């Protein structure tokens, strides 16, 4: 019998995860209370929530820098996970009770496809696993009801030991593996690269009494800001090859969090789309540069091709 399934990647989102965004939303799941803050970025996520309601994907896949694996690329593969996730740097802002479902079938498929391409990959099957704040923040902002199953992929920390280019080449393979598994699954999927852009941040909270004091929030430096704008303009113009070619320099000069590989993974899974991306918001969080950016693959063609 031929395999008649043909899954689709509907789109991808650059979905930054400063825990401040969840803190500012005051959801019931998060213990600390706030007066708000970082509204422009939070409003940017409104577009994502609306789009997901229209699209109703079967699963959201996220690549996160804050679940780091020294060996290989792990894929979350426990059907249900719940617990308390605390941000180790900002525990006063993020103590979040998560309760989520994982698409284990597709998770196993991604891990198997990654191994076929020569990568080291394992399904993560520990039922007590504490999900990291990168995964939770991006996914909470995208879908606060958590009524769509998810899959999180770990960040192999090879970029921190090896040449950036070698590490990013591995992420291209992980993207291809993801695409292959999605196609075989027959599922409709949305991707999220959980990353800030420029990533230098203030060494202390400008106002510890009121972390959401927006009178103290600003770009870390003019050069970090200019790097972010350059990268966002490449996304907006659909110049994905220009974007990929300056990525190593962006990582070095702006300490960009895309170093962890999520953006490269996502663009690769989407066949490096020349579709102009839509920047829904840009804003700073404790000085870092963050943008909510959408690649809508349904606007030009029906998803990806094998
Ligand atoms: O998530 C990180 O990497 C952080 N440093 C948290 C704060 C702001 C991020 O943009
Ligand atoms: Fe981060």
Ligand 1 pocket test target in 23, 155, 201, 258 with most atoms within 8 Å of CB: 201
User: Which of 259, 239, 84 has the alpha carbon at shortest distance from 159?
Assistant: 259
Burial (CB < 10 A; 0-12, 13-18, 19+), residue 179, is buried
In a domain, 302, yes or no: no
Residue 36 lies in a domain: yes
The answer to whether position 34 is within a domain reads yes
Provide the CATH number for the domain around residue 87.
Answer: 3.40.830.10
Indicate whether residue 17 lines ligand 1 (CB < 6 A).
Answer: yes
Q: Are 124 and 71 in contact (CB under 8 A)?
A: no
Atom 9, ligand 1: which residue's CA is nearest? 18
Q: What pLDDT is stored for residue 9 in this prediction?
A: 98
Question: What domain count does the chain have?
Answer: 1
**Residue 1, domain member (yes or no):** no
Ligand 1 neighbourhood includes 286 CB (under 6 angstroms): yes
Index of the ligand 1 atom closest to the CA of residue 17: 1
In a domain, 80, yes or no: yes
Is 61 domain-assigned?
yes
Q: Ligand 1 centre from 87 Cα, in Å?
A: 10
pTM metric for this prediction: 0.95
Q: Decide if 130 is inside a domain.
A: yes
**Residue 283 CA: which ligand is closest?**
1
Helix (H) or strand (E) holding 195: none
Among 19, 198, 211, 256, say which to mutate for ligand 1: greatest number of ligand atoms within 8 Å of CB.
19
Express each pLDDT in 16-47 by its tens digit.
999 999 999 999 999 999 999 999 999 999 99
Mean pLDDT computed over every residue of the chain: 95
At residue 3, the pLDDT reads 56
Report pLDDT for 302.
Answer: 44
Give the nearest ligand 1 atom to 257 CA: 3
Query: What digits encode the pLDDT tens for the residues 204-245?
Result: 999 999 999 999 999 999 999 999 999 999 999 999 999 999
Q: Which atom of ligand 1 is nearest to the CA of 65?
A: 3
Comparing 159 with 72, which gets the higher pLDDT? 72
**Which atom of ligand 1 is nearest to 288's Cα?**
10
pLDDT at res. 303? 46
Write the residue with the smallest CA distance to atom 4 of ligand 1: 18
Q: Which domain holds residue 33?
A: 8-296
CB of 93 shorter than 6 A to ligand 1: no
Residue nearest to atom 8 of ligand 1 (CA): 18
Tens-place pLDDT, residues 116-171: 999 999 999 999 999 999 999 999 999 999 999 999 999 998 777 777 777 888 99
pLDDT for residue 66 is more than 90: yes
Note the pLDDT tens digit of each residue in 76-113: 999 999 999 999 999 999 999 999 999 999 999 999 99
Is residue 306 one of the residues assigned to a domain? no
* Rounded average pLDDT over 180-184: 98
Which CA distances in Å does 47 have to 125, 194, 220, 236, 296?
Answer: 33, 16, 26, 16, 12
C-alpha 65 to ligand 2 mean position (Å)? 6
């Amino acid at each position: 019998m031929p395999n008649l399934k043909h899954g689709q990647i509907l789109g991808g989102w650059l979905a930054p995860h400063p825990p401040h965004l969840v803190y500012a939303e005051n959801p019931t799941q998060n213990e600390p209370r706030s007066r708000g803050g970082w509204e422009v970025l939070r409003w940017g996520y409104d577009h994502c929530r609306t789009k997901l309601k229209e699209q109703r994907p079967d699963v959201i896949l996220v690549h996160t820098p804050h679940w780091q694996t020294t060996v290989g690329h792990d894929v979350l593969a426990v059907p249900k996970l719940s617990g308390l996730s605390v941000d180790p740097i900002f525990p006063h802002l993020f103590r979040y009770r998560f309760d989520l479902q994982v698409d284990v079938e597709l998770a196993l498929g991604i891990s198997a496809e990654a191994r076929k391409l020569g990568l080291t990959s394992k399904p993560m099957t520990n039922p007590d696993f504490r999900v990291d704040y990168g995964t939770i923040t991006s996914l909470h902002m995208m879908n606060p009801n958590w009524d769509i199953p998810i899959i999180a992929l770990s960040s192999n920390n090879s970029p921190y030991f090896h040449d950036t280019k070698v590490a990013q080449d591995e992420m291209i393979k992980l993207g291809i593996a993801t695409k292959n598994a999605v196609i075989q699954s027959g599922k409709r999927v949305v991707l999220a690269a959980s990353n800030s852009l420029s990533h230098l941040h203030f060494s202390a909270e400008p106002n510890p009494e009121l972390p959401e004091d927006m009178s103290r929030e600003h770009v870390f430096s003019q050069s970090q800001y200019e790097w972010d704008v350059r990268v966002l303009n490449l996304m907006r113009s659909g110049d994905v090859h220009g974007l990929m070619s300056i990525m190593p320099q962006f990582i070095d000069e702006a300490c960009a969090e895309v170093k962890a590989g999520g953006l490269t993974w996502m663009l690769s899974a989407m066949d490096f789309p020349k579709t102009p991306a839509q920047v829904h918001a840009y804003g700073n969080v404790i000085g870092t540069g963050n943008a909510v950016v959408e690649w809508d693959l349904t606007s030009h063609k029906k998803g990806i091709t094998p």
